Structure 1
Amino acid sequence: MDIVTFLPFIVLIGAMFLMTRSAKKKQQAAATMRNEMQPGTGVRTIGGMYAVVKEVTEDTATLEVAPGVHAIYAKNAIGAVLDDEEYNRIVHGAEQDLKSDTPVVPDDASSLTEGDEPAADESPVDLGKKDADADEDAPKKDADADADTPKADEDAPKSDEDAPKKTDGEADAK
Protein backbone atom coordinates (compact mmCIF):
# COMPACT_ATOMS: atom_id res chain seq x y z
CA MET A 1 0.00 0.00 0.00
CA ASP A 2 1.00 3.54 -0.66
CA ILE A 3 1.53 6.25 2.00
CA VAL A 4 -0.83 8.59 0.09
CA THR A 5 -3.76 6.35 0.98
CA PHE A 6 -2.95 6.54 4.67
CA LEU A 7 -2.34 10.34 4.67
CA PRO A 8 -5.98 11.33 5.43
CA PHE A 9 -6.08 8.92 8.38
CA ILE A 10 -2.80 10.27 9.74
CA VAL A 11 -4.06 13.86 9.51
CA LEU A 12 -7.33 12.90 11.23
CA ILE A 13 -5.55 11.16 14.10
CA GLY A 14 -3.18 14.13 14.49
CA ALA A 15 -6.10 16.60 14.68
CA MET A 16 -7.87 14.45 17.29
CA PHE A 17 -4.67 14.31 19.35
CA LEU A 18 -4.29 18.11 19.30
CA MET A 19 -7.94 18.67 20.27
CA THR A 20 -7.84 16.26 23.18
CA ARG A 21 -4.55 17.76 24.35
CA SER A 22 -6.03 21.28 24.58
CA ALA A 23 -9.12 19.94 26.37
CA LYS A 24 -6.91 18.15 28.91
CA LYS A 25 -5.01 21.40 29.55
CA LYS A 26 -8.28 23.21 30.26
CA GLN A 27 -9.42 20.46 32.62
CA GLN A 28 -6.12 20.54 34.50
CA ALA A 29 -6.30 24.33 34.85
CA ALA A 30 -9.85 24.08 36.25
CA ALA A 31 -8.83 21.33 38.68
CA THR A 32 -5.85 23.40 39.87
CA MET A 33 -8.14 26.39 40.40
CA ARG A 34 -10.58 24.32 42.46
CA ASN A 35 -7.80 22.77 44.54
CA GLU A 36 -6.33 26.17 45.40
CA MET A 37 -9.62 27.46 46.88
CA GLN A 38 -9.19 28.91 50.35
CA PRO A 39 -11.86 29.61 52.97
CA GLY A 40 -13.08 33.19 52.59
CA THR A 41 -12.70 33.22 48.80
CA GLY A 42 -15.62 34.30 46.61
CA VAL A 43 -16.72 31.80 43.97
CA ARG A 44 -19.29 31.43 41.21
CA THR A 45 -20.92 28.04 40.74
CA ILE A 46 -21.63 26.54 37.33
CA GLY A 47 -25.27 27.44 37.96
CA GLY A 48 -24.36 31.12 38.30
CA MET A 49 -24.72 31.48 42.09
CA TYR A 50 -22.17 33.60 43.96
CA ALA A 51 -21.03 32.45 47.40
CA VAL A 52 -18.14 32.53 49.86
CA VAL A 53 -16.11 29.39 50.59
CA LYS A 54 -16.31 28.37 54.27
CA GLU A 55 -14.67 24.95 54.21
CA VAL A 56 -12.89 22.83 51.62
CA THR A 57 -12.58 19.02 51.73
CA GLU A 58 -11.20 16.57 49.22
CA ASP A 59 -14.32 16.36 47.01
CA THR A 60 -16.67 19.03 48.40
CA ALA A 61 -16.75 22.67 49.41
CA THR A 62 -19.06 24.26 51.96
CA LEU A 63 -20.34 27.57 50.61
CA GLU A 64 -22.11 30.38 52.44
CA VAL A 65 -24.77 31.44 49.94
CA ALA A 66 -26.38 33.98 52.31
CA PRO A 67 -25.50 35.16 55.81
CA GLY A 68 -25.92 32.08 58.01
CA VAL A 69 -26.98 29.80 55.12
CA HIS A 70 -24.46 27.09 54.24
CA ALA A 71 -24.65 24.60 51.38
CA ILE A 72 -22.36 21.75 50.44
CA TYR A 73 -21.29 21.62 46.78
CA ALA A 74 -19.10 19.23 44.82
CA LYS A 75 -15.82 20.86 43.80
CA ASN A 76 -16.71 20.21 40.18
CA ALA A 77 -19.69 22.54 40.60
CA ILE A 78 -17.40 25.54 41.18
CA GLY A 79 -17.21 27.42 37.89
CA ALA A 80 -14.79 30.19 38.84
CA VAL A 81 -12.79 31.41 41.80
CA LEU A 82 -13.06 35.21 41.96
CA ASP A 83 -10.67 37.68 43.48
CA ASP A 84 -12.02 39.89 46.26
CA GLU A 85 -12.46 43.04 44.15
CA GLU A 86 -14.50 41.28 41.49
CA TYR A 87 -16.63 39.39 44.03
CA ASN A 88 -17.44 42.59 45.96
CA ARG A 89 -18.22 44.46 42.76
CA ILE A 90 -20.65 41.78 41.58
CA VAL A 91 -22.31 40.75 44.85
CA HIS A 92 -22.25 43.91 46.93
CA GLY A 93 -22.28 46.43 44.10
CA ALA A 94 -19.10 48.09 45.37
CA GLU A 95 -18.23 51.15 43.33
CA GLN A 96 -15.03 51.48 41.38
CA ASP A 97 -12.12 53.42 42.77
CA LEU A 98 -12.34 57.08 41.87
CA LYS A 99 -8.62 56.99 41.17
CA SER A 100 -9.06 54.77 38.13
CA ASP A 101 -9.11 56.35 34.69
CA THR A 102 -12.03 54.30 33.40
CA PRO A 103 -15.19 56.35 32.78
CA VAL A 104 -18.21 55.70 34.97
CA VAL A 105 -21.34 54.98 32.97
CA PRO A 106 -24.60 56.24 34.52
CA ASP A 107 -27.40 53.76 35.26
CA ASP A 108 -30.01 55.79 33.40
CA ALA A 109 -30.17 58.47 30.74
CA SER A 110 -31.55 61.19 33.03
CA SER A 111 -28.09 62.46 33.84
CA LEU A 112 -27.47 63.05 30.16
CA THR A 113 -30.34 65.52 29.86
CA GLU A 114 -30.08 67.33 33.19
CA GLY A 115 -29.54 71.05 32.76
CA ASP A 116 -30.34 70.99 29.05
CA GLU A 117 -32.89 73.77 28.74
CA PRO A 118 -34.02 74.85 25.27
CA ALA A 119 -32.53 78.14 24.16
CA ALA A 120 -34.74 81.25 24.25
CA ASP A 121 -34.82 81.61 20.45
CA GLU A 122 -35.63 77.92 19.88
CA SER A 123 -39.22 76.79 19.79
CA PRO A 124 -40.22 73.18 20.29
CA VAL A 125 -40.55 71.25 17.06
CA ASP A 126 -43.94 69.71 16.36
CA LEU A 127 -43.38 66.75 14.09
CA GLY A 128 -47.13 66.24 13.63
CA LYS A 129 -47.70 69.53 11.79
CA LYS A 130 -48.38 69.50 8.09
CA ASP A 131 -47.25 72.15 5.65
CA ALA A 132 -49.89 74.67 6.76
CA ASP A 133 -47.21 76.95 8.15
CA ALA A 134 -45.39 76.90 4.82
CA ASP A 135 -48.44 78.34 3.06
CA GLU A 136 -48.66 81.17 5.58
CA ASP A 137 -44.97 82.01 5.27
CA ALA A 138 -44.98 82.01 1.45
CA PRO A 139 -44.84 85.46 -0.19
CA LYS A 140 -48.24 86.86 -1.16
CA LYS A 141 -48.99 87.12 -4.88
CA ASP A 142 -49.91 90.42 -6.39
CA ALA A 143 -53.70 90.59 -6.84
CA ASP A 144 -53.39 92.66 -10.06
CA ALA A 145 -51.19 90.05 -11.70
CA ASP A 146 -53.76 87.34 -10.99
CA ALA A 147 -56.54 89.40 -12.55
CA ASP A 148 -54.72 89.69 -15.88
CA THR A 149 -54.14 85.97 -16.36
CA PRO A 150 -57.08 83.99 -17.67
CA LYS A 151 -58.20 81.14 -15.47
CA ALA A 152 -59.41 77.83 -16.76
CA ASP A 153 -62.85 76.84 -15.63
CA GLU A 154 -62.19 74.03 -13.19
CA ASP A 155 -65.78 72.78 -13.25
CA ALA A 156 -65.90 72.47 -17.04
CA PRO A 157 -66.07 68.91 -18.37
CA LYS A 158 -62.87 67.65 -19.88
CA SER A 159 -62.71 66.62 -23.47
CA ASP A 160 -61.89 63.08 -24.60
CA GLU A 161 -58.47 64.24 -25.74
CA ASP A 162 -57.54 65.23 -22.18
CA ALA A 163 -58.64 61.87 -20.78
CA PRO A 164 -55.88 59.39 -20.06
CA LYS A 165 -55.26 56.87 -22.80
CA LYS A 166 -55.65 53.17 -22.16
CA THR A 167 -52.49 51.33 -22.99
CA ASP A 168 -53.28 47.81 -21.87
CA GLY A 169 -55.07 46.91 -25.08
CA GLU A 170 -58.61 47.23 -23.73
CA ALA A 171 -61.17 49.10 -25.77
CA ASP A 172 -64.20 50.97 -24.55
CA ALA A 173 -66.83 48.53 -25.67
CA LYS A 174 -70.39 49.34 -24.68
Structure 2
Amino acid sequence: MPVPPRITVEVPVLRVGHGPADFEALGSLVQSLRRPQGLHLTLLHVGILADFARDIEDWTKGSTPAGNAVTGTARWLRSLPELAGFAGTSDRVIVLGGGSIAGLEVTVPQHVRDYQVSLVQGLHDLLDRLLVDNVDDFILSSPALGFRYPHWVPHVAVGRPPGHGRGPWSIPPMDVECGPSRIRNGRFLPAAD
Protein backbone atom coordinates (compact mmCIF):
# COMPACT_ATOMS: atom_id res chain seq x y z
CA MET A 1 0.00 0.00 0.00
CA PRO A 2 1.57 3.33 -1.03
CA VAL A 3 2.35 5.90 1.64
CA PRO A 4 0.09 8.99 1.33
CA PRO A 5 2.00 12.02 0.05
CA ARG A 6 3.24 14.78 2.30
CA ILE A 7 1.80 18.23 1.71
CA THR A 8 4.15 21.21 1.84
CA VAL A 9 4.24 24.81 0.69
CA GLU A 10 7.55 25.09 -1.13
CA VAL A 11 9.50 26.75 -3.90
CA PRO A 12 11.24 24.68 -6.57
CA VAL A 13 14.99 25.16 -6.93
CA LEU A 14 15.71 26.06 -10.54
CA ARG A 15 19.49 26.37 -10.32
CA VAL A 16 22.31 26.01 -7.80
CA GLY A 17 25.48 27.95 -8.57
CA HIS A 18 26.33 28.63 -12.20
CA GLY A 19 25.20 25.25 -13.49
CA PRO A 20 25.27 21.46 -13.03
CA ALA A 21 29.01 21.32 -12.25
CA ASP A 22 28.61 23.55 -9.18
CA PHE A 23 25.87 21.32 -7.84
CA GLU A 24 27.74 18.10 -8.63
CA ALA A 25 30.77 19.44 -6.73
CA LEU A 26 28.68 19.08 -3.56
CA GLY A 27 29.02 15.30 -4.06
CA SER A 28 32.53 15.53 -2.62
CA LEU A 29 31.05 16.72 0.66
CA VAL A 30 27.70 14.92 1.04
CA GLN A 31 26.71 11.29 0.56
CA SER A 32 23.95 10.21 -1.83
CA LEU A 33 23.76 13.57 -3.61
CA ARG A 34 20.21 14.10 -4.82
CA ARG A 35 19.37 14.79 -8.43
CA PRO A 36 19.02 18.49 -9.16
CA GLN A 37 15.52 17.89 -10.56
CA GLY A 38 13.06 18.00 -7.70
CA LEU A 39 15.17 20.07 -5.32
CA HIS A 40 13.04 22.46 -3.32
CA LEU A 41 13.05 24.83 -0.35
CA THR A 42 10.20 24.15 2.07
CA LEU A 43 8.32 27.15 3.42
CA LEU A 44 5.78 25.20 5.52
CA HIS A 45 5.44 21.48 6.13
CA VAL A 46 1.90 20.23 6.75
CA GLY A 47 2.66 16.53 6.45
CA ILE A 48 0.25 13.77 5.51
CA LEU A 49 -3.10 15.55 5.52
CA ALA A 50 -5.04 12.67 7.08
CA ASP A 51 -2.47 12.45 9.91
CA PHE A 52 -2.62 16.21 10.45
CA ALA A 53 -6.42 16.04 10.61
CA ARG A 54 -6.27 13.19 13.16
CA ASP A 55 -3.84 15.22 15.25
CA ILE A 56 -6.40 18.03 15.29
CA GLU A 57 -9.29 15.69 16.12
CA ASP A 58 -7.28 14.13 18.96
CA TRP A 59 -6.17 17.52 20.32
CA THR A 60 -9.74 18.90 20.29
CA LYS A 61 -11.09 15.64 21.79
CA GLY A 62 -13.39 15.26 18.79
CA SER A 63 -14.78 18.81 18.76
CA THR A 64 -13.28 19.14 15.29
CA PRO A 65 -13.79 15.90 13.34
CA ALA A 66 -10.90 14.88 11.07
CA GLY A 67 -13.07 15.36 7.98
CA ASN A 68 -13.71 19.01 8.88
CA ALA A 69 -9.99 19.50 9.51
CA VAL A 70 -9.15 18.04 6.08
CA THR A 71 -11.59 20.26 4.18
CA GLY A 72 -10.70 23.38 6.19
CA THR A 73 -6.98 22.83 5.69
CA ALA A 74 -7.37 22.14 1.95
CA ARG A 75 -9.45 25.32 1.54
CA TRP A 76 -6.83 27.35 3.43
CA LEU A 77 -3.95 25.94 1.37
CA ARG A 78 -5.71 26.75 -1.89
CA SER A 79 -6.32 30.34 -0.74
CA LEU A 80 -2.65 31.12 -0.07
CA PRO A 81 -1.11 33.88 -2.18
CA GLU A 82 1.72 32.84 -4.46
CA LEU A 83 5.25 33.93 -3.62
CA ALA A 84 7.13 35.04 -6.75
CA GLY A 85 10.44 33.41 -7.63
CA PHE A 86 13.58 34.76 -5.97
CA ALA A 87 17.32 34.22 -5.62
CA GLY A 88 19.08 33.31 -2.40
CA THR A 89 22.66 32.44 -1.58
CA SER A 90 24.39 29.63 0.26
CA ASP A 91 27.88 29.28 1.65
CA ARG A 92 27.56 26.27 3.94
CA VAL A 93 26.13 22.80 4.33
CA ILE A 94 24.29 22.02 7.55
CA VAL A 95 22.89 18.87 9.15
CA LEU A 96 19.11 18.60 9.62
CA GLY A 97 16.42 16.01 10.29
CA GLY A 98 17.98 14.66 13.44
CA GLY A 99 21.27 14.11 11.63
CA SER A 100 19.95 12.30 8.55
CA ILE A 101 19.85 15.17 6.04
CA ALA A 102 22.55 17.42 4.62
CA GLY A 103 21.22 20.71 3.34
CA LEU A 104 22.40 23.94 1.83
CA GLU A 105 21.60 26.67 4.33
CA VAL A 106 20.07 29.42 2.20
CA THR A 107 20.09 33.13 2.94
CA VAL A 108 16.79 34.38 1.52
CA PRO A 109 15.50 37.93 0.92
CA GLN A 110 13.50 39.54 3.72
CA HIS A 111 10.22 39.34 1.78
CA VAL A 112 10.63 35.54 1.66
CA ARG A 113 11.07 35.43 5.44
CA ASP A 114 8.02 37.68 5.77
CA TYR A 115 6.02 35.31 3.54
CA GLN A 116 7.05 32.31 5.63
CA VAL A 117 6.04 34.16 8.82
CA SER A 118 2.67 34.90 7.20
CA LEU A 119 2.26 31.17 6.50
CA VAL A 120 2.82 30.34 10.15
CA GLN A 121 0.42 33.11 11.20
CA GLY A 122 -2.12 31.73 8.72
CA LEU A 123 -1.63 28.25 10.19
CA HIS A 124 -2.30 29.73 13.65
CA ASP A 125 -5.52 31.30 12.35
CA LEU A 126 -6.57 28.04 10.68
CA LEU A 127 -5.97 26.03 13.85
CA ASP A 128 -7.87 28.61 15.89
CA ARG A 129 -10.87 28.25 13.53
CA LEU A 130 -10.57 24.48 13.90
CA LEU A 131 -10.94 24.93 17.70
CA VAL A 132 -7.36 24.01 18.60
CA ASP A 133 -6.39 25.58 21.93
CA ASN A 134 -2.75 26.26 22.86
CA VAL A 135 -1.88 26.51 19.16
CA ASP A 136 1.88 26.93 19.72
CA ASP A 137 1.97 23.75 21.82
CA PHE A 138 -0.03 21.91 19.17
CA ILE A 139 2.31 23.02 16.38
CA LEU A 140 5.40 21.87 18.26
CA SER A 141 3.85 18.55 19.30
CA SER A 142 1.91 17.47 16.19
CA PRO A 143 3.68 14.43 14.71
CA ALA A 144 2.25 15.26 11.26
CA LEU A 145 3.66 18.79 11.26
CA GLY A 146 7.01 17.50 12.48
CA PHE A 147 8.27 20.86 13.78
CA ARG A 148 11.46 20.13 15.68
CA TYR A 149 12.48 23.73 16.22
CA PRO A 150 10.46 26.88 16.86
CA HIS A 151 12.31 28.84 14.17
CA TRP A 152 12.60 28.34 10.41
CA VAL A 153 15.96 27.53 8.84
CA PRO A 154 15.73 28.03 5.06
CA HIS A 155 17.50 25.10 3.44
CA VAL A 156 17.60 22.82 0.42
CA ALA A 157 18.10 19.13 1.26
CA VAL A 158 20.85 17.82 -1.03
CA GLY A 159 21.81 14.41 0.38
CA ARG A 160 23.05 12.69 3.50
CA PRO A 161 25.71 14.15 5.78
CA PRO A 162 29.28 12.95 5.34
CA GLY A 163 30.38 10.20 7.68
CA HIS A 164 32.62 12.56 9.65
CA GLY A 165 31.65 15.40 11.96
CA ARG A 166 28.38 17.24 12.52
CA GLY A 167 29.08 20.33 10.43
CA PRO A 168 28.44 22.93 9.36
CA TRP A 169 30.84 22.84 6.41
CA SER A 170 31.80 25.96 4.49
CA ILE A 171 31.48 25.89 0.69
CA PRO A 172 32.25 28.50 -1.96
CA PRO A 173 29.33 30.97 -2.04
CA MET A 174 26.73 30.09 -4.66
CA ASP A 175 23.41 31.45 -5.81
CA VAL A 176 20.26 29.41 -5.31
CA GLU A 177 17.58 30.40 -7.81
CA CYS A 178 14.01 29.51 -6.82
CA GLY A 179 10.74 29.55 -8.73
CA PRO A 180 7.30 30.67 -7.51
CA SER A 181 5.71 28.95 -4.52
CA ARG A 182 3.48 25.93 -4.95
CA ILE A 183 1.67 23.32 -2.91
CA ARG A 184 3.62 20.12 -3.24
CA ASN A 185 1.25 17.22 -3.90
CA GLY A 186 -1.63 19.70 -4.11
CA ARG A 187 -3.32 17.41 -6.62
CA PHE A 188 -3.99 15.03 -3.72
CA LEU A 189 -5.99 17.61 -1.77
CA PRO A 190 -9.72 16.86 -1.69
CA ALA A 191 -11.77 18.56 -4.38
CA ALA A 192 -12.95 22.06 -3.57
CA ASP A 193 -16.57 22.22 -2.45
Global fold match (TM > 0.5): no
Q: Scaled by the length of structure 1, what TM-score is found?
A: 0.17
Relative to the length of structure 2, the TM-score reads 0.16
Larger Rg: 1
Q: Give the number of the structure whose residues are more often strand, by fraction.
A: 2
